[in-house]
Every structure is written in C-alpha cells, then in structure tokens.
Amino acid sequence: MRVRLVQSVFVFLHVSVVFSEARVPIPEDYAVSTNFVRWAAQVFHGPNVPHHSGAGVNADPEEKMNATQLITSKGYPCEDHYVTTDDGFILNMQRIPHGLKNSNNTAPRPIVFLQHGLLGSSTQWIENLANESLGFILADAGFEVWLGNIRGNTYSRRHVKLKPSQEEFWAWSWDEMAKYDLPKMLTHALNVTKQTQLYYVGHSQGTMMGFAEFSRNQELAGKVKTFFALAPVAYLGNMESPLKLLSNYVKQIELIYALLGKGEFLPSSEFIRFLGQELCDKPVLDVVCENVLFLIAGFNYGNMNVSRIPVYVSHSPAGTSVQNMVHFAQLYTSGKFQMFDYGPQGNMLKYNQTAPPEYDAKNVTLPVALFSGGHDSLADPKDVAILEAKLPNITHKKVLPEWEHLDFIWGMDAARRCYSDIVQIINSVEKL
C-alpha cells in the first residue's frame, strides 16, 4: 500500500511540474483535494533522515562532539554564550577568545563573527582540521572569533514560551533571523568585549541575513568594519539547486505544508529521493543522496576530504523551518530579494500591502568583500552578478571558478584560496 501511495505522490508531482512548465494552472480541486492532502502528509512528512553518526568501531569521535567539544578537543578555549531575541528565541553562540599561540596577548583583539548558512550550525566553521577550519585559522591569526547559531538549529531550539513540538515555534523564515537574531548576536559580542565594531563573515543564508538587515538597519551596519560574503545569496532566480523544485508548488502553499508539515523541516526519505532524482542517478557517494544539505547546496567531490564526510553529516542538516525553505523557493519564483510572501490577504495583514516588500541591496553601504563560486548551484553566478551590480561599496571580489556552495566551508583548498584572503584583508583594515 505504501509503495502505491508513494508512486501516486510522484505522479502528482510530475503532473504538477508539467502543468507549471506549460503555465497551465493546476485545477483547484486537484491541488487541494482533502484526500490527497491527508495521504500525502502521511507519506512525505516522515522522520528526519538519519545522520551517519559514529556507531562503527572506527568512527571519528568528532561525529558525536558538540561545537564546544570540537573546539576544546583541539586545545582552543571556548565559551558558550546565550542571548534571547525580542520575539523569545534563545540562541547559543560559541566564543573562541584566542588561538593556541597568542594567549598571552591581553590587548583587545579584532572580533570576527562567523554566521553559518542554510541548514547549518556553528560547527561548519570548525569541522575540518585546525589548519583548514576558518574558526581556528582566525583565532591563530590573532583575532577573537564568535560563532553564531540562528533559531531552530541544533544549538538554538529553546524559546521563552514555545516548544519545538508546537507549530508556532517554527513560524518564521530568514526574515526573522535578519530582524531579530542577527542584531542580538552581534550586539552581544560587542557588549561582552566592550568594543564598538567587528568583522562579519556570512556563508549562504548568513549572507542573506546580512544583506537584508544591513540594508535597513544602518545603526547595526555601522558596527561592521567589513562584511565578508561567502557564496552570497540574495537573488535566487537563476539557481540550479533541486530546491527550485519546490517553487512549482509555491502558489499551492497549502500543498507544500501538506507534504512537509508546518513545523520543522524534516524531509522523509521519499522527499530526499524526489530532490535527488537526477543527481543520484550518477555514481556518487551514497551519503550525498541521503543528506538534504548536499542535495540542496551541491558538492565538489574532488575538493572534499572524504575522510571528514562522516563528521560533516553527523552535524548537518542542523535544522530549520518549512517556512524558511518555502521562502527560498519563493525567491526563485519571483527573482526578487523580498520578504516572505503570505499571499495578498496575508501580506495586507503583515505588511499593509498586497505584495511582500523588497530589500534594497543598494542600501548596503558598508564595505563588502564578495567571494563566489563559478559552479555554485545555490548562489548562481548570474544571481551574484545581479547582487554585485547593486552593492555600492565592494572592496574585494574573488571568483573561484570551479567552486561550489560547500567549498567555502569544507573545501580542502579553502584555507589557501579564501581564508588567507580574509586574514589579509582584516590585517590591512586594522592598519588603517
């Protein structure tokens, strides 16, 4: 019975794609059929994809470490910090006050704040060897490093009133991350260190949060000396990521919620196979076809330390909301850098206008250093070019022709080709 249901779901999805590509509207009774919604939810809204965590005898112990343990196990100091956002989410951050060889320096250190991307957590900056991980490289270069974690991920699953088991806990997207999470985390880092400015490094969604909030919050933007945007994401109209498949159902948003639920994004194995139907026909590692982060973000097998993959997938995906994934799909459909689209009536209630407001990247006037990949399926070069044309103060630009989305956090040559540039730029700014 289950097999027939899965086959029926895929028939529906295939027909929907055909209708969408032909610009033929899906019949209303077909799109929101009560019976379809009921069994689609049962089939698709399954448990999370299991991580490849260390059950084997030769498993890497880092597979079971949390962010703090990943840091201290390598001899670095670590502090856990917590902040509560204005809408009640309790966020956990890690602080690396100094590196291994410069602990005696008591002078204030430049602060570098690292913000992870979609479906990630702070561990993405510290999962490689110490000489290959940006978090450790920055600490050893003489900087103080802060690692952010946004609402809903492994380290930020608490709220003053709500619980993760409630749908209300997950009623947000990166709009709220930009509006609430980012200012609170950056301000806390500055207050603790008694400094007035810091450097901000974002990857993927971390750049989107920055572009959104720095475009409208000039007070916060003034606290950032340089914004390092790795695999920058704002416009998604040209993305080739399988995530764009969800865009076929954005106008039938109740269908997406039927397939995935309204809470945490916990894709079932059937949905994973749906996303990877083309990629996983190729001879690649099985783990790639079982991990939604690899499917959505793409991977560069030739630039990945295969021995570290079990560590990567034991910590990712780290969690997000279905609403956040829908928001990404909406950006592909609209081709605009805009807030979440609740539909005309919902937008009137939320924004007092029928269409969602757009973020204006032209208002991001702080210094921006852009690092992009030539084969990035999520931050497509054409979309990066649209963003680049709008930013008024790009102080550094580097394109890594063969890089894909995850090379910026896990690439074997990232330290040499990207992180060394970041250190050099910071040192140059500090000398001014």
Catalytic residues: 204, 376, 405
The token pair at 343 is: 């539909």
Contacting residues for 3 by C-beta, under 8 A, at least 6 apart:
none
Distance of alpha carbon 359 from alpha carbon 378, whole angstroms: 19
Distance of alpha carbon 281 from alpha carbon 295, whole angstroms: 13
**Could you give the count of Cα atoms lying within 13 Å of 15 in the half-sphere of its Cβ?**
11
Sign of dihedral through CA atoms 420, 425, 430, 432? positive
The token pair at 39 is: 């069994």
C-alpha to C-alpha distances, 279 to 157, 242, 286, nearest whole angstrom: 32, 9, 11
Contacting residues for 356 by C-beta, under 8 A, at least 6 apart:
338, 339, 340, 341, 342, 347
Rg (CA), the chain: 21
Distance of alpha carbon 237 from alpha carbon 33, whole angstroms: 30
| Chain length of the chain | 432
Sign of dihedral through CA atoms 376, 290, 206, 383? positive
Distance of alpha carbon 257 from alpha carbon 263, whole angstroms: 9
Strands 158-159 and 198-203: unpaired
The token pair at 114 is: 């690292």
Q: Which residue do the tokens 């207050």 mark?
A: 191
154, 248 contact by CB (below 8 A): no
Assess whether the previous peptide bond of 317 is cis (omega < 30° from 0).
Answer: yes
Contacts 24+ apart (CB under 8 A), 32-35: 32/252, 32/254, 32/255
